[in-house]
């Protein structure tokens, strides 16, 4: 059992449903790690590689990075004690009512992903850290309550851990930046059937499912 676990959550793909413009898949993934300072080390070394000095900040993103940098982050992450859970939908199979309530769709997929996290995690406390996406305060609060309910239902350890849920700016959070490479590689695996990057973290995946 760990004293504390950090869970980084983000999506890849979009929530649109426009033919020819929107992505075919939507992926939401979670990276679970007990020593999240190791993610800071990865970004620090990446900045040194790019010779970023002074107060200049760089937000690392899978889509904007070279293949070399993608491989650096994913291979580095695979050497940590992390594990990964992801869920995805092929959007053409989505019910019409969920297409109109994108917040509910996002919450549903997050909940399914976190069900698998809660079933496998063993810790005294857990922080769920999500990218700060545009949404109403009521929607954010609903998501927090929803995840707490999922923990109470699916956590299998002897004592329910203390849970905090935060939505942060990824530009200021190193863990979210590293996690972006995880969901980016999963999205490419599904959307483009390209496993070059997903293969680098595949052994760290404890659960990965297409819900529909």
Query: Taking 90 as the threshold, does the pLDDT of residue 133 lie above it?
Result: no
Whole-angstrom distance, CA of residue 146 vs CA of residue 110: 9
Specify whether the CB–CB gap between 154 and 170 falls below 8 A.
Answer: no
Give ∠ CA 38-41-43 in degrees, rounded to 5. Answer: 115
145 pLDDT tier (thresholds 50, 70, 90): very high
Give ∠ CA 34-143-80 in degrees, rounded to 5. Answer: 15
* Domain range annotation of the chain: 2-210
- Please say whether the structural domain 2-210 has been given the CATH code 3.30.420.10: yes
Query: Taking 70 as the threshold, does the pLDDT of residue 56 lie above it?
Result: no
Q: Which residue has the tokens 């849920």?
A: 165
What share of the chain in percent tops pLDDT 70? Answer: 97
Read off the pTM.
0.94
Q: Which residues pair with 164 in a beta bridge?
A: 127
Cβ burial, residue 129 (10 Å; 0-12/13-18/19+): buried
Whole-angstrom distance, CA of residue 11 vs CA of residue 70: 17
Closest CA to 7 of 40, 43, 33, 44: 33
54 pLDDT tier (thresholds 50, 70, 90): low
Q: Across all residues in the chain, what is the average pLDDT?
A: 94
pLDDT tens across 67-102, in order? Answer: 999 999 999 999 999 999 999 999 999 999 999 999
Residue 40 neighbours by CB under 8 Å, 6+ apart:
174, 175
Whole-angstrom distance, CA of residue 180 vs CA of residue 12: 8
Question: Tokens at residue 139, please?
Answer: 């929607």
């Amino acid at each position: 059992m760990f004293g504390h676990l950090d869970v980084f959550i983000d999506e890849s793909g979009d929530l649109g449903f426009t033919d020819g413009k929107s992505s075919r898949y939507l992926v939401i993934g979670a990276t679970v790690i007990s020593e999240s300072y190791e993610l800071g080390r990865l970004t620090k070394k990446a900045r040194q590689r790019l010779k970023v000095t002074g107060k200049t900040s760089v937000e690392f993103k899978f889509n904007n990075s070279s293949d070399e940098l993608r491989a650096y982050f994913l291979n580095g992450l695979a050497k940590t004690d992390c594990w990964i859970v992801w869920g995805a939908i092929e959007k053409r199979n989505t019910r019409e009512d969920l297409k109109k309530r994108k917040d509910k769709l996002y919450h549903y997929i997050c909940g399914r992903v976190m069900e698998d996290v809660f079933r496998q995690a063993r810790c005294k406390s857990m922080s769920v850290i999500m990218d700060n996406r545009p949404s109403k305060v009521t929607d954010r609060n609903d998501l927090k309550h929803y995840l707490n309910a999922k923990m109470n239902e699916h956590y299998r350890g002897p004592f329910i851990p203390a849970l905090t849920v935060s939505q942060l700016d990824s530009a200021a959070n190193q863990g979210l930046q590293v996690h972006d490479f995880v969901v980016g590689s999963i999205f490419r695996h599904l959307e483009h059937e390209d496993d070059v990057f997903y293969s680098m973290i595949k052994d760290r995946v404890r659960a990965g499912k297409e819900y529909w």
